[in-house]
Structure 1
Amino acid sequence: MKPTMTTHRINVLDLIRGFALIGLPFVNVLALWDSVNLSGTQGDIWIQRFLYIFVEGRFYAIFSFLFGLGFWIFLSRAQGKTNHPYVLFIRRMLILFVAGILHHLINPGEVLLFYAIFGMIVLLFYKAPKQINLILGIAGIIVGSFIGAKTLLPLPLMMLGLAFGQYRVFETLWENKKKWLGVAIFSFIATSVITVFLWQKAPDAGLLSYMEGFDYDITETQAEANRAFYDFIDLSMVFAPVFSIFYISILVLLEPVAGKWLSPLHSFGRMALTNYIGQSVILVSLLAFIPADTIVSYKSATIVCLIVVGVQIIVSSLWLKFFNYGPLEWLWRCGTYGDWVPIRRK
């Protein structure tokens, strides 16, 4: 039995959002825990290399794209419910901006502030022709990737998401599954070639962070290796969109045939705001139990992040059995509409 377009679209977007959320703590922990560093083992170097090839920039790119697509969905729905859809969206962005300021206090690398600001910019293009938004999005991604402007990349990715909404790409997923299969095959081949290329280009020594307060200095040899690794990171970022396309296309194809087994990720994605901020709160709280003079290996940090994500997926699935929204999603919704929205399931 074929799923309805609306149901399929919602499920796919929740699944993609949940998948993207999995990768965020593995990168965020490096900024939140200053004590994370290479332990000197080959395993740690491989984990670090894996993160910068398959995770760094890839999952945030998906989130930014979904934000732009969600922007289009929100305004399209709001226009049918109210005479002031733009007021609702501006209010929604203001709430996100405040949430970003508060989140910035514990996670200086957070993205909500940028999303709120870029969301207001994207609003200017809501009525622009879809062809223009598509060209601006693709061109911005290409330029931003090649110049290494990671901070600015979310804006063209949002523009691309807006264009996908205007083209109603995610409303005809089932009918276009052959095209998505073609995208998946092509992007798989591309990511495979890129992975081999990047793995060979990665410096053998890895990236050793300088941590203030620790009784050691980075040698000139290691400093040179670090500079080489930063060049490798810039090179890796050029190919980030290709990996993101591969991840998205695979999830689009998996959802109709394995949606039941992937339902925990749906719940995880529906509570994206709660879980994203929750990851920062949990990781910062755990930092209090790590002695100040302890170096945390990449392996240990990765295990902790796996546990955090696993617990969040379980809690999200249980929570949505009794409630309609995650706690922060509910507050965001109430603030957006200026009304008390029922949170408990009937």
Structure 2
Amino acid sequence: MNPSVTQKERIVSLDIIRGLALFGILFINVGAYVVLIEGGPMPDMSGINGIIDSLIDIFIEKKFFSIFSFLFGVGFYIFASRAEARGDKPRKRFARRLLALLLIGIIHIFLFWGSILAIYAVIGFLLLPFYSVKISTISKWLFTIISLHILVILGQMYMPNNAVLSAIYGLLGNDAVAIFIMFLSGFLVAKAGWVGHISEHAQKIKRVLYSTCPFFIGFSLWIWFASQADDQQIQSIIGLGVVPTTYFYLSCLFLLLENKQIAKLLQPIGRVGQMAFTNYLAQSFIGTAIISLMGLQVVSPSEIVIIASITFIIQIIFSVIWFKFFSIGPFEKLWRFMTYGKKTVTKQS
């Protein structure tokens, strides 16, 4: 086996998954591009719109941000291990990378209030202590954090609230903990060598797939019935299902992308993922422009599907054309400069 070829294929797979994650994120963010005002017009949630909204809750809500978070954790290990191999200081270099992300993220918040970049940067610092930790120790930490997160969400749903419990719920039951869980999951998988050698770990990945599939089906049905009943706890139900559903999605995707024909077919989506930083920043501008051109005051679920699809098609076309002339996205180039303090070559060789 040629290691360099395998590594290249794995990067392509990660880019495709990252591109798909960006597409899923659009279905959540598009609705937030228009700020709803109390007493103003509200999106239509009747008929087909109600069904689409429920399907978004089942298949997309919090799941694709979680996939994106998982890939961030994978990227941390790849970045830090390569830095160490070059004789660099991995933690120090990644800390500088996070500070650059934080600065860009803060600026982006002024342009789109729902930006996740600054939060990613802050939570990313929690990964630094795990870089040299044993895989078995990371696994124990991950299991413990997941267990606590699930117990706290269940507590939010079924236990009476008081001052002490509210503090615990606020600390361990929020989306930031879910993001860190996926950061650490991605880091663990990369450190264990799964990402670079999917075929060698196929049986383990299949076990993850089979064990999470019943949870995926169960939570999908639970969310559907909760949405139809206007259950006030639907966000908690979605939160409970995030980890197993994300693991299920990732297992499916990693195994599916071992098929070279499928990977080749999805390569244009991989181009979007290859410049995910640029495309994430661009989504808010493209989506807002489309909403403005359509003259929409509010965005219904069916309109979200249309706008998200148009935005992603634009990004596929732009990304494919961009990489015919350059080897790195514009904001990826900026981020690299802020990380290393030196110019990078962007022309294709």
TM-score range, shorter chain: 0.7 to 0.9
Which consecutive unaligned segments of at least 5 residues does structure 2 have? 154-172
Aligned to 1:344, which of 324, 332, 347? Answer: 347
Match of 2:70 in 1: 65
- Larger mean CA deviation between 137-146 and 55-64 belongs to 137-146
- Number of aligned residue pairs: 322
Q: 1:37 Cα deviation (Å)?
A: 4.2
Q: What does the per-residue CA deviation read over 1:254-308, in whole Å, with 9 as the maximum and x for residues that have no partner?
A: 212111111112111111101111111222334444658x343221122111110
Distance 1:186 1:47, change over 3 A: same
| One-letter amino acid of the counterpart of residue 259, structure 1 | A
Give the TM-score normalised by the residue count of structure 1: 0.86
CA distance in 2, matches of 1:264, 1:52: 27
Which consecutive unaligned segments of at least 5 residues does structure 1 have? 205-224
Match of 1:33 in 2: 34
| One-letter amino acid of the counterpart of residue 175, structure 2 | K
CA distance in 2, matches of 1:155, 1:189: 24
| Percent of residue pairs bearing the same amino acid type | 31
CA distance in 1, matches of 2:307, 2:83: 40
| One-letter amino acid of the counterpart of residue 7, structure 1 | K
Aligned to 1:103, which of 108, 112, 124? Answer: 108
Distance 1:142 1:339, change over 3 A: same
Q: 1:102 Cα deviation (Å)?
A: 0.9
Instruction: Tell me the SS of whatever aligns to 2:130.
Output: coil
- Larger mean CA deviation between 76-85 and 269-278 belongs to 76-85
Aligned to 2:277, which of 273, 278, 281? Answer: 273
Distance 1:39 1:267, change over 3 A: same
- The yes-or-no answer on 1:92 pairing with 2:97 is yes
Match of 1:137 in 2: 142
Aligned to 2:328, which of 315, 320, 325? Answer: 325
Q: 1:139 Cα deviation (Å)?
A: 2.6
Distance 1:197 1:322, change over 3 A: same
Give the TM-score normalised by the residue count of structure 2: 0.85
CA distance in 1, matches of 2:223, 2:91: 44
Contact 2:108 2:281 in 1 (8 A): yes
Match of 1:6 in 2: 7
- Larger mean CA deviation between 20-29 and 32-41 belongs to 32-41
Instruction: Tell me the SS of whatever aligns to 1:152.
Output: helix
Distance 1:166 1:111, change over 3 A: same
CA distance in 2, matches of 1:65, 1:158: 5
CA distance in 2, matches of 1:144, 1:316: 37
Contact 2:28 2:61 in 1 (8 A): yes
Contact 2:123 2:176 in 1 (8 A): no
Match of 1:263 in 2: 267
| One-letter amino acid of the counterpart of residue 333, structure 2 | W
CA distance in 2, matches of 1:18, 1:188: 23
Which structure's residues are more often helix, by fraction?
2
- The yes-or-no answer on 1:159 pairing with 2:159 is no
- The yes-or-no answer on 1:314 pairing with 2:317 is yes
Q: 1:182 Cα deviation (Å)?
A: 3.9
CA distance in 2, matches of 1:315, 1:252: 25
Contact 2:215 2:241 in 1 (8 A): no
Contact 1:11 1:255 in 2 (8 A): no
Match of 2:123 in 1: 118
Distance 1:37 1:26, change over 3 A: farther
Contact 2:269 2:316 in 1 (8 A): yes
| One-letter amino acid of the counterpart of residue 134, structure 1 | S
CA distance in 2, matches of 1:308, 1:100: 21
Contact 1:137 1:158 in 2 (8 A): no
Distance 1:336 1:201, change over 3 A: same
- The yes-or-no answer on 1:168 pairing with 2:193 is yes
